[in-house]
Structure 1
Amino acid sequence: MSVNAQKVSFNGEQVSLKQAFQKIESVSKYKIAYNATQLDVNKIVILNQKNVDVLKVLDAILVGTDCTYKINDGYIVITPVQKGTVRKIEGTVKDTKGEPIIGATVMVKGTATGTITDFDGNFSLDATDGANLEISYVGYQSQQIKAISGKLLAVTLKEDTEILDEVVVVGYGTQRKRDVTTSIASVRASDLKGQPVSSMAEAMAGKMPGVQITQGTGAPGSSLQIKVRGTGTITAGTSPLYVVDGVPLAKDQLNTFNMNDVESIEVLKDASSAAIYGSRGSNGVVLITTKKGTSGKTTVTYGGYYAWQSVSKKIDMLDAYEYAELAYDARNNTYVDKMESINRKRIAAGNSPLPFSISDNNALRLKNSGNDYNTIVPMELIPYLNGTPGLTNTDWQDEIYRTAGMQNHTVSASGGSDKIKYYVSLDYLNQDGIIINSDFKRYGARLNLDVSEGIFKFGITLNPSLTIENKVNSDGAYNSNGGGVVASALHSSPIFPVYNDDGSFCFAQNSWSADTETIMDDGSIKRGNSQTQVWNPVALAMLQKDEKKASRIFGNIYGEVAFLPSLKYRANFGVDLYNDSEDTFRPSTIPLSNTKGNPESIPEATSQTSRIYNWVFEQTLSYNKNFGGHSVSVLGGWTMQYQRDESNYAFANGFIINSIPTLNAGTVTRGNSNASEWSLLSALARIQYNYLGKYMITGALRADGASRFGKNNRWGYFPSVSLGWRISEEKFMNSLEFIDDLKLRASYGLTGNFNIPNYGAQGELAYYSYVLGGSSPDAIKGAAPKSMPNPDLKWEKTAQVNVGFDATLFKNRLTLGLDLYNSNTYDLLLNVPVPMTTGYTTRLENIGKVNNKGIEFNISTNHQMGDVTWSAYFNISKNINEVKALGPGNADIISSGSVGNAYFITRVGEPIGSYYLPVVEGVYKNQAEVDASLHYVDSPSNYGLADTKPGDFKFKDVNGDGILDISDTDRAIVGNYMPDFAYGFGANIAWKGIDLGVIFQGVYGNEILNLSRRYFYNHEGNMNNYKGALDRWKSEDNPGSGMNVRANRVSKGQNGTTSTWHVEDGSYLRIKNISLGYTFPMSLVNKVCLQAARIYCSIQNPFTFTRYEGYNPEVSNRNSVTTNGEDYGVYPLARTISLGVNLTF
């Protein structure tokens, strides 16, 4: 055996040169000879090479010694470097096929002298005869040769077998990446590092084609939405199945896991790869593998960072003086409209019209309008209209947002022996929210232990965690559930302060409606109603309590027996125990809504808990055999899983004081408790065959029996097959020398959707109250059927065909892949009307079809030029979603949004959940345009009060019937939340320990229903508006932008109807992360007893390029499949700047 083929391991050991030589001699057949007067053999070095060639270890040992070595007759002879004459050394570098390698690095070992090969693989540099030259290139094994002048050196580099043998997790096992015949996306631990995020899902964004990761909210600790290859269901769940270390998660809450513990994440995208998970694979499968221990001396690592977070975008709102002008304009127009209507009525009655002018004072306005307080100008606005300087001008966004800290610390240890390997870690995350009084904390620990003895092997994984979250009611409209903090801040009038003079919270705008003061002609003050109430958003955030605690114990224990080297039995038992509690309290200091004088409210509190008990037991038998160019892998097994969900809820009020927020201090007036359970029994099988690495086939079958489905259809069967052809190995491809590897793939698979209610197939009972008795009736509870049973209910099924290829080109410099897929989901679960004689209105049935088809492309490259290495990647995917069939008659499914006139439609031939709205064609510039087209005409009894006028929206007669009915027939499909395509790209460059990386993510072609525009562009002047309100219609001579309606305290001409005016382009390009790091040289870190040290800084979400006017184009307030894409106020994303360090001891 050559010395180059012999291996040695050092596990972070601090040894002398002499001790290192002795260990090398003990594992090799060579003796090491040296002159002790020429080499300090007592010099201490720290070595951490695992199973590395002896010569590579010698290279590391002799760094900085001015010594070299040569091999002679069973001896490795170490001698001083000869200071000979520098001569020109020339040579060429090729691969095993004889093709030149461009850009290979050629270095004189132990020096900074080096060069790179040219386009023909040639190199030339100055060195002494006998000097060691090291030749390296990404994807190839490095090689050393002796420098010889006057001779053309020929170097042949071999491919790095570690790259060729890279494996991916495929579900119930692993497979060499180059042999995979299905569509699987993968990211490694190195791809996730350095990002200051609380969830690993956020770090995955933009890195995998066909996997869309949406961060709809920036609330600390919030979950992200992962969608694989579009939406294939209407009523069932859309989340993928998450499997951590072989155990399916009971709850998709990834923020309980520490991202630093993750080794790799694979996403099974096509049905063939996901079919091994059967009834739960339709939405894709996310496989998360955590780090394992390695044999050798214990290695301790620390990773930590501190970050500063700030709101990534502020919305440009009107200031106090601009707002006052808008409010004044709105009331003037309302006064004019009202008086024109009144005068039409007077003329019709034979009376003379009343004279009026916008210069009329409030008393005259009330008198003329019949006490219509929408026509008056509130006295609080007068100083602003007069231009008085120095008045209150509150920027409410500045008041609720803050610069918030964030820190994360992880300590881990890994080591062991050939028989015992372990990985342990502790982590702590503390994230303050950018909205005041919000934060998230996580405490976690992990133990991964593997023990082997002869043919036996067993292990345990244990991951307890605790999260504590203080929440604010950030999402929703200004008046939802006491007021969404974000919407309330944007709605709040800038003329009001945050605090009163005495330091208490100012709630004047909450009672402004009831406390509006009007100065009459005689100087008296009259109060009336002309404003919309808004709570002080700072008070909402600071005074209310909403604390959520969640504990999780996630674990797994397995045993394995190798009956033969090729035959293994494995048993696995996993648990996921999840418990959470949430307590809220609303104190009396938040006043009653719209009540004169802002009286205190009655305190309210809630308490709710939920518990999930989930276990899974699996047994598998696997057989793997290689013989005569054939490779066979067979897997068979069965699994059973059980889950029970429990919850409790209680509501109390009547608290006497605010200082005791627990329910026992109040009166519990309502509550409930729930419990449900499900079970799953499965059998599975898979066979993989490979011949000569050229021809590959995989077949799999899973049978699932589930308690959720009807007794006549409890079992479902999910087969799959995939084929692979490494066409680059065929002789007819030899002439295409630029192709290193080319593999064609094709697959077909059938999967199911398990995400339906536990008792969807069964008839359920519900409690109802019945009033019985005479003069003092009592409410008596009784039970009655709630839902109609369906014993034939079965899985939604997805049949998917996938074809694609994987290729590496130009000496492994370029890697690319392409996938085309067509996915048909059928037997959709829909509520179908049933005859009234049954006593029910609908029944859940399997009817309906949805199709998703698309294309995915990815390309990456890596280069090394001397001390510079760089890599880049790009991926893009397009998915087309289409409803193919619905219920009886393919009737449209119309769904209401968060406001009554915002509708979504699910229609055959269209994507699920499209926006179904009236179409705005512009704003009428003058009365002639109004008269020349269809427009809204008010009821005759109102004498034209709400007739369309110049400055109102012009709506399209969508169905062309000559009748404008925007509440019903004159609606159109005007967009949806699904993008035309999604993409991501990034790059990394490193030079002498300095590394710089950047990650981009984006989508194109989706629309957002920005319901916030209902208020921020309503121009009623009853609350603040977007800055764009300055460009509103003011007159025929000043029509503004042509799409901005006139100001009016009471929206007329149906200007307040949700329409295409509220639909915005949601396309965006986001710089997701920029990071800059420095890895200290070994010569320095060894002096402080470290193996490695790196410092870095990064910026998360520094810039987003979009035309969307809201905070975040990824927003969606609603998780319903049929009503996706609303923005009604949401917690914005944070821009995060962090400083971090990674240390290895």
Structure 2
Amino acid sequence: MEEIIKSKQIAWKICNRTVRIMKISILFIMLCIFGVNAENLYSQQKELSLNLRKVTLHKAISEIERNSDYVFLITDEAGKELNKQTTVHLNNESIQTILETILSGTSLEYSVVERQVSIYRNPVVEKNLRTEVVTETMTQQKKQITGTIKDNTGLPVIGANIVEAGTTNGTVTDIDGQFTLQVEEGALLQISFIGYLSQEVPTAGRSVIDILLLEDTQSLDELVVIGYGSMTRKDVTSSITTVQAEKMNVGVFSDPAQLLQGKVPGLIITQSSNPNGSPSITLRGASTFRSGAAQEPYYVIDGIPGMSLALVAPDDIESIDVLRDATATAIYGSKAANGVIIINTKKGRAGHTNINYSAYMATDDILKNWDVMDGEQLRRYAGENGITLINDLGASTDWQKEVQRRGFSHNHNVSISGGSEKVSYNSSINYMEREGVIKGTEMDRLIGRAFLEAKAMNDRLTLSFNVNTSITNRSSVPFDIQGQSVLDAMSYYSPLVPVRNEDGTWYENSGLSQNYNPVALINENIYDTENKQIQGNAKASLKITDGLLFNTNLAYQNEQYLFSNYNTTQSLVAIGMSGKADRSTVNNNKKVLESYFNYDRTFNDAHKLALMAGYSWEESNDNDGFKLTTYNFYNDVLTYHNLGMGNKVDINGLGLGDGRYMLSTLRMISFYGRANYSFNSKYMFQATVRRDGSSAFGENNRWATFPSASMAWRLSEENFIKNMNLFDDLKLRVGYGVSGNSLGFDVFTATQVYGATGWFEHVTPSGETELVHTLGPTRNANPDLKWERTGMFNVGLDFSFFNNRLNGTVEYYDKRTKDLIADYQVSTTRYPYNWLTANVGEVSNKGVELSINAVPVQRGHFTWETSFNLSHNKNRVERLSNDTYSVDYFDRANLDAAGFASATQQRVMEGYPIGQFYTWQWAGYNEGVSHFYVYGESNLKDIYGDDFASKVSKQADGRYKDNQTGELVTTAKPLYDDRTATGSAQPLLTLGWNNTLNYGKWSMTAFFQGVFGNKIMNGTRAYLSNYASVGNGKNVLASMFDDNLATDYNSHAPSDRYLERGDYLRLSALTLGYNFGTINDYIRGLRLFATCNNLLTITRYKGVDPEMSLGGMEPGIDNRQTYPRTRTFMLGVNVNF
């Protein structure tokens, strides 16, 4: 029967995989049809494309003029050769490259000055051509080219690169800006230097060439996406970091946020190796007592706020803008207190249809496992310490090995883009499949995307349409529940027992508490989730007059979840139920409408004014769904696919099978505006305001206003700075803004809620007894509940030196969040329920950030680029109570340590940071027994009696000293009030360091990231150090052999003994790539790369990995539920057609 079951399950998986492949094929065909029908026109957009076959030179030149701003002047002598035919297939090339190609084999030469191109006949070349036809063996003689390269101020450019195009022949300028180079006759020189615009200079008929390099102001003129608009980098007055696609992290990422780890100062991202996990994200410190979405930044995708990240494939991202201070985020009002991340996806461009295929395959291996005892070691340890083992069946099972495997992932992305001057498009399809290193954990996802933009009314009207859809399937195993977790059991389960009994059934220590066979947990429990999402948006932009635009966006998003769980008839998770199946659905939808005006004008070439005003409406309907559970299955063949095979009543006769979700509706209305003024790009001012109204908060506080103001002074435009000849750019920024935090907020939090509070026996008219739910209050109403408000002061200095080869930013911020939402105990004589959600708390974050970008080496074909960022943040809880609601502290992070009733390890209290460890303080061993310092009076009374005050003296650090012995007071039985502040999970410094080396077509990138000054509570090590576990059928660490006093029953007591330094420096990614360039007329670009993630880690942490979550209300906790960190090896390819 078991083989039949397995064969049917395998068939089911094959069927699912086949259907999935068919879906991919159909969608790909549709995308190809969409791309092929696009008009194949060629236009000028920084570079030219020319695809002609057997046409005259005159026709080719006409095509260039028609699709660009170039004007050709042709001499009469040259005009005689324009009837010659040429064939050319070039895409996105410079005008020089195109002219070199079409004029090859003729006696014609050219010169390019601005937009004017001159074509003339060179008699020397004509003679050489005739001679070449006669001899067919004569080789061109090299000639010497000398010259000087200067900048626009007349100063020599030292170290500029001069390379003969198409060769590796090159040189650099000396201290006087001079160079000498031997080149072929008619060669084209490529001149480049960091901070200047590159040039291509023909050498035909010239031996001395003097070149003027123009400063590259692209970095200052690049557009930065801000809320409801964009502006040039030099006019930005706020703290905004832009990360381009080529600078993002490389790895097996299913969440776009993982692309930013270590790239943005103050943005702390903790990766997850779980294919079904999400990264932990915190920007500029924790500023709320709530968890989940309330801790994370707000996401805006292609201008649409609050859209799902699951709809964006990392390959489709063009750039990401991170808005870090309140002057940048205040325009998003009530959702922006934790920062705003704006994701910009790739769009279509006028020109040749571009087809891109990118893919990778990767393997994952666990970095490190817990070094627990094997069977032989455990038997020897028990014998040496007089421990009687139970259930010793002679085995030596490595449970970590039994549940782990080598993970495998692959990702494929196909995109088609192109268009004309009037219509552009971009469509893509992405498929990703990922198997985790824990058996039974896997994910596959299919994303489809289509973008279309069209211009009309003489380009006054722009319409765009975007559709994104995704289907994600996830499979998991029992996690998170202590004792029923595979992550937990794989380290503590006894190695003395086998995986299966002799009859093939699972071996289970069913008589022992929280002791489950981890292999059985994987094989006898199914947790599947299917998520379907679709999002569509339409945008219109109408140019009313010069400088005045009206924009409107309409977006709709729908999410559907199907949760399917099955515990087999052999599962101990549903023990006594003879199988349990439950299926539930959740349907969420969201609608957003935004309309706003943009007005941009420049007056007298000095005064630049930009105004924006708008309105938005948003409605979300969430948690529309149902749940059904059935029990008592005859077999496990169909698992959860036929709930009718089970009963709705369990073996105890309780009808607990039905459930439904609480449908919630949230509506928001907003009005917002922004004003920017710039004088000569020297003095910049910005002011924003947003007024938000929400149906979620108390009826007395449904509206709030979020203002901001900032200014910037470009010091580099002042003469006293210019005369220093030191800075390319120097800008001082200062601002203050207010934003709110309503993310992750339950819309019923301010409302009186009633729910099931218990059971009672009801006798029916027929005399039967049935259990019926009792109904009672489960939440109090609070009409005064309002937004959490964050005010932030920010001052920054942007600088650039050495023609932009060295640039960076240094910033200081002071961020204070008030009216924090938390639950407080209240009297039931006044309220129906004994807890009330209220605005009371206050948290501050102060910090300094530094980011530096540099090009230390650029010589010939070799370039070294490096970027470095360093952040320091100080978090502090300023207030927990007021005159109405009071609490001394909140205890968090319960380790569930065996034998200790209260094992919370962190305390939220005034004057300390979120993540403050509050533990017992280990004093060492005393006669083979662990002792702890006494901090509370309860233990003093037990030790000294009620008159303890005369026998001890309290020290400045809170400990007590025995007046007679002079020794600090310790105890072997610490009590609740003996705990004290012992360290913080908040780091002092976070670091990101990226290095890119380029040599010719080779490139190598090394990315380091680190965290310093934080503590980690190694709860897993504490749990695996429990001497008593050996006699209870569990395993312990092999290191207990080295501790002669490890027989202490308090050896695993949660204390600062297991509070360890969390500092680490990690080589997070090492990538080696080779760019083949253009292969032929069909393959216009090919790049291969190999990447290794988590290659090297330097740390003193004794756990398996120091990279712990630093967000949420329980940061820095290693508590037996951490998915193993992996080392990933990846091979990838990127092809352009």
Choose from 518, 533, 536 the match for 1:552: 533
Q: Out of 871-880 and 233-242, give the one that drifted further.
A: 233-242
Q: Please name the residue that 2:629 is paired with.
A: 651
Letter in 1 for 2:305: P
Once the two structures are TM-superposed, the CA of residue 584 in structure 1 deviates from its matched residue by: 1.1
Choose from 616, 620, 635 the match for 1:639: 616
Distance in 2 of aligned mates of 1:571 and 1:911: 43
1:108-119 equivalent positions in 2, closer than 5 A: 108-119=164-175
Distance in 2 of aligned mates of 1:535 and 1:401: 16
Kept in 2: contact 1:187–1:207 (CA 8 A): yes
Note if 1:902 corresponds to 2:904: yes
SS of match in other structure, 2:803: coil
Q: Please name the residue that 1:685 is paired with.
A: 673
Q: Please name the residue that 1:520 is paired with.
A: none
SS of match in other structure, 1:1090: coil
1:121-520 equivalent positions in 2, closer than 5 A: 121-127=177-183, 132-145=188-201, 153-192=209-248, 194-215=250-271, 217-235=272-290, 237-249=294-306, 254-330=309-385, 332=386, 376-378=388-390, 380=392, 392-454=395-457, 455-477=460-482, 479=483, 483-501=484-502, 504=504, 506-507=506-507, 510-511=509-510, 514=511
1:792-807 equivalent positions in 2, closer than 5 A: 792-807=784-799
Distance in 2 of aligned mates of 1:205 and 1:1000: 10
Q: Out of 92-101 and 996-1005, give the one that drifted further.
A: 92-101
SS of match in other structure, 1:974: strand
Q: Out of 237-246 and 666-675, give the one that drifted further.
A: 666-675
Distance in 2 of aligned mates of 1:931 and 1:985: 42
Letter in 1 for 2:1092: I
Distance in 2 of aligned mates of 1:272 and 1:1026: 52
Distance in 1 of aligned mates of 2:1073 and 2:494: 45
Cα deviations across residues 889-912 of structure 1 (Å, max 9, x unaligned)?
Answer: 662222351423223211111001
SS of match in other structure, 1:799: strand
Distance in 1 of aligned mates of 2:690 and 2:933: 66
Kept in 2: contact 1:905–1:1122 (CA 8 A): no
Once the two structures are TM-superposed, the CA of residue 1060 in structure 1 deviates from its matched residue by: 1.2
Once the two structures are TM-superposed, the CA of residue 678 in structure 1 deviates from its matched residue by: 0.8
SS of match in other structure, 1:1086: coil
Once the two structures are TM-superposed, the CA of residue 228 in structure 1 deviates from its matched residue by: 0.8
Q: Please name the residue that 1:1015 is paired with.
A: 1023
Once the two structures are TM-superposed, the CA of residue 316 in structure 1 deviates from its matched residue by: 2.3
Distance in 1 of aligned mates of 2:222 and 2:772: 68
Q: Out of 108-117 and 676-685, give the one that drifted further.
A: 108-117
Cα deviations across residues 571-603 of structure 1 (Å, max 9, x unaligned)?
Answer: 11111211111111111223589xxxxx98621
Distance in 1 of aligned mates of 2:306 and 2:989: 30
Change (3 A) 1:60 1:274: farther
Kept in 1: contact 2:892–2:1113 (CA 8 A): no
Once the two structures are TM-superposed, the CA of residue 934 in structure 1 deviates from its matched residue by: 12
Kept in 1: contact 2:995–2:1005 (CA 8 A): yes
Choose from 808, 819, 840 the match for 2:811: 819
Count of residue correspondences: 1021
Distance in 2 of aligned mates of 1:859 and 1:677: 46
Distance in 1 of aligned mates of 2:840 and 2:438: 45
Once the two structures are TM-superposed, the CA of residue 993 in structure 1 deviates from its matched residue by: 1.0
Give the TM-score normalised by the residue count of structure 1.
0.83
Choose from 581, 602, 605 the match for 2:562: 581
Cα deviations across residues 980-1004 of structure 1 (Å, max 9, x unaligned)?
Answer: 1111111111222111111111211
Letter in 2 for 1:55: Q
Q: Please name the residue that 1:527 is paired with.
A: none
Kept in 2: contact 1:128–1:147 (CA 8 A): no
SS of match in other structure, 1:380: coil
Cα deviations across residues 182-228 of structure 1 (Å, max 9, x unaligned)?
Answer: 1112211112374332222222111111111112x321142112111
Cα deviations across residues 19-55 of structure 1 (Å, max 9, x unaligned)?
Answer: 64442355543256898999996664431227x5x33
Note if 1:743 corresponds to 2:731: yes
Change (3 A) 1:960 1:250: farther
Give the TM-score normalised by the residue count of structure 2.
0.84
Change (3 A) 1:85 1:853: same
Change (3 A) 1:998 1:475: farther
Note if 1:832 corresponds to 2:821: no
Cα deviations across residues 850-880 of structure 1 (Å, max 9, x unaligned)?
Answer: 1000011111113532112221111111111
1:648-797 equivalent positions in 2, closer than 5 A: 648-662=626-640, 663-668=643-648, 669-670=655-656, 671-673=658-660, 674-755=662-743, 756-769=745-758, 771=760, 779-797=771-789
Distance in 2 of aligned mates of 1:41 and 1:543: 77
Cα deviations across residues 1010-1064 of structure 1 (Å, max 9, x unaligned)?
Answer: 221233111332422223222112xxxxxxxxxxx4226xx2xx43421112322
Kept in 2: contact 1:544–1:586 (CA 8 A): yes
Q: Please name the residue that 1:992 is paired with.
A: 1000
1:60-71 equivalent positions in 2, closer than 5 A: 69-70=110-111
Note if 1:1055 corresponds to 2:1058: no
Cα deviations across residues 906-960 of structure 1 (Å, max 9, x unaligned)?
Answer: 1111001322110113233669x9899999999999xxxxxxxxxxxxxx98465
Kept in 2: contact 1:400–1:435 (CA 8 A): yes
Q: Out of 646-655 and 864-873, give the one that drifted further.
A: 646-655
Distance in 2 of aligned mates of 1:329 and 1:590: 36
Give the structure, 1 or 2, with the largest relative contact order (CA under 8 Å, sep 6 or more).
1
Distance in 2 of aligned mates of 1:977 and 1:91: 60
1:1112-1127 equivalent positions in 2, closer than 5 A: 1112-1116=1105-1109, 1120-1121=1112-1113, 1125-1127=1117-1119
Kept in 1: contact 2:737–2:791 (CA 8 A): yes
Change (3 A) 1:464 1:12: farther
Kept in 2: contact 1:636–1:684 (CA 8 A): yes
1:1088-1099 equivalent positions in 2, closer than 5 A: 1089-1099=1082-1092
SS of match in other structure, 1:828: strand
Letter in 2 for 1:630: H
Letter in 2 for 1:633: A
Distance in 2 of aligned mates of 1:154 and 1:902: 74
Distance in 1 of aligned mates of 2:1080 and 2:627: 58
Q: Out of 961-970 and 769-778, give the one that drifted further.
A: 769-778
* Aligned-CA RMSD value: 3.4
Q: Please name the residue that 2:850 is paired with.
A: 857
Letter in 1 for 2:489: S
Cα deviations across residues 291-328 of structure 1 (Å, max 9, x unaligned)?
Answer: 11111221111111111222222332222221212223
Once the two structures are TM-superposed, the CA of residue 97 in structure 1 deviates from its matched residue by: 2.6
Letter in 1 for 2:806: L
Once the two structures are TM-superposed, the CA of residue 634 in structure 1 deviates from its matched residue by: 0.4
Change (3 A) 1:161 1:500: same
Change (3 A) 1:497 1:717: same
Q: Please name the residue that 1:1139 is paired with.
A: 1131
Q: Please name the residue that 1:622 is paired with.
A: 598
Q: Please name the residue that 2:579 is paired with.
A: 603
Once the two structures are TM-superposed, the CA of residue 14 in structure 1 deviates from its matched residue by: 5.8
Distance in 1 of aligned mates of 2:758 and 2:927: 57
Change (3 A) 1:580 1:13: farther
Once the two structures are TM-superposed, the CA of residue 141 in structure 1 deviates from its matched residue by: 1.5
Kept in 2: contact 1:264–1:288 (CA 8 A): yes
Distance in 1 of aligned mates of 2:803 and 2:1106: 40
Distance in 1 of aligned mates of 2:220 and 2:858: 19
Distance in 1 of aligned mates of 2:852 and 2:845: 23
Kept in 2: contact 1:1008–1:1127 (CA 8 A): no
Q: Please name the residue that 1:841 is paired with.
A: 834
SS of match in other structure, 2:1027: coil
Letter in 2 for 1:48: N
Change (3 A) 1:778 1:1120: farther
- For structure 1, the residue ranges without an aligned partner over 5 or more in a row are 333-374, 382-390, 515-530, 594-598, 942-955, 1034-1044
Once the two structures are TM-superposed, the CA of residue 101 in structure 1 deviates from its matched residue by: 2.7
Q: Please name the residue that 1:24 is paired with.
A: 64
Once the two structures are TM-superposed, the CA of residue 838 in structure 1 deviates from its matched residue by: 0.8
